[in-house]
Chain A
């Protein structure tokens, strides 16, 4: 077999193995079962501070937001790297004013997008309109 083809196939096999390793050990894991969670939306521009309680079987925040899309007035923006929440309760953050919805999990800054935030029983997820 062609030497280059062997090199390419070898690299592809190693890549697939590393991909499986990442998915197994490093990607966030969802929690199965019923969970009671709270979603709070804060938008000081519109004088909004609303709280919603949900019981859900979903494992990730994005799945819950998609199910409650109408009630929560969520707007999504889809990127290669994942989905971002750009609007809540019908208000869409305006990038020209450097606005965005900051996500807190139990008061701590979220480090990932909603697609990678696992839902845990009793957790509170805050979406606050902020400026960068």
Chain B
């Protein structure tokens, strides 16, 4: 890995953290999913996975360590790998918007499973049910954000990538 790549990973993970903080006043509306999908499409899964590790570790510095952050170390790499697999098949942003929507709708369920490993199935069940409305907002907002913003962001990132690497 070149120094240029290391710097890029730092900058791209900082953009995700900044994007998340900027929208943190609206519960469960975020651009993290959009950006991880865009990064995977433009820079490939290997760099995107490293960005996910840096981003999640930064979250620990900001919020302190808690069990939900363990889930972050799994859920973003899962999204990246699903995007990587979809790259060859998806012809338009609709496929990615659907992936983002499913990701948002099942986000709470995934964390409920992780939380239930620590606090028991009853807690996980309540955690999921109580968060369903937030998952609903999450999935729907992901669908809209990705459908509207993915293409312009990927175009910009592709242009910047060409300039950055001089190819």
**Chain A residues proximal to chain B, CB less than 8 Å:** 4, 7-8, 11-12, 15, 18-19, 22, 26, 80-81, 111-112, 116
A111 adjacent to B27 (CB under 8 Å): no
Question: Which chain B residue lies CB-closest to A4?
Answer: B147
Once bound together, how far apart are the Cα atoms of A26 and B136, in whole Å?
Answer: 14
What's the least CB distance linking A1 to chain B, in Å? 15
Once bound together, how far apart are the Cα atoms of A8 and B27, in whole Å?
Answer: 19
Once bound together, how far apart are the Cα atoms of A26 and B122, in whole Å?
Answer: 16
Is B123 engaged at the interface, CB distance under 8 Å to the other chain? Answer: yes
Number of B interface residues at 8 Å Cβ cutoff, please give it. 20
Residues on B with beta carbons closer than 8 Å to the beta carbon of A81: 27, 130-131, 134
- Residue of A11, A22, A80 touching B144 (CB-CB under 8 A): A11
B27 adjacent to A80 (CB under 8 Å): yes
Once bound together, how far apart are the Cα atoms of A81 and B127, in whole Å?
Answer: 11
Question: Which chain A residue lies CB-closest to B123?
Answer: A111
A15 adjacent to B136 (CB under 8 Å): yes
Once bound together, how far apart are the Cα atoms of A11 and B102, in whole Å?
Answer: 12
Interface secondary structure of A, over-half rule: helix
Is B129 engaged at the interface, CB distance under 8 Å to the other chain? Answer: yes
B136 adjacent to A22 (CB under 8 Å): yes
What's the least CB distance linking B137 to chain A, in Å? 8
Known: A7-B94, A81-B27, A81-B134. A26 touches B143 (CB 8 A): no
13 contacts between A and B (CB under 8 A): A7-B94, A7-B97, A7-B143, A7-B147, A12-B144, A18-B136, A22-B136, A26-B129, A26-B132, A81-B27, A81-B130, A111-B130, A116-B130
Residues on A with beta carbons closer than 8 Å to the beta carbon of B133: 19, 22
Question: Which chain A residue lies CB-closest to B24?
Answer: A80
Once bound together, how far apart are the Cα atoms of A26 and B133, in whole Å?
Answer: 10
Residues on A with beta carbons closer than 8 Å to the beta carbon of B140: 11-12, 15
What's the least CB distance linking A80 to chain B, in Å? 4
What's the least CB distance linking A3 to chain B, in Å? 9
A22 adjacent to B132 (CB under 8 Å): yes
Is B18 engaged at the interface, CB distance under 8 Å to the other chain? Answer: no
Residues on A with beta carbons closer than 8 Å to the beta carbon of B129: 26
Is B85 engaged at the interface, CB distance under 8 Å to the other chain? Answer: no
Residues on B with beta carbons closer than 8 Å to the beta carbon of A7: 94, 97, 143, 147
A8 adjacent to B136 (CB under 8 Å): no
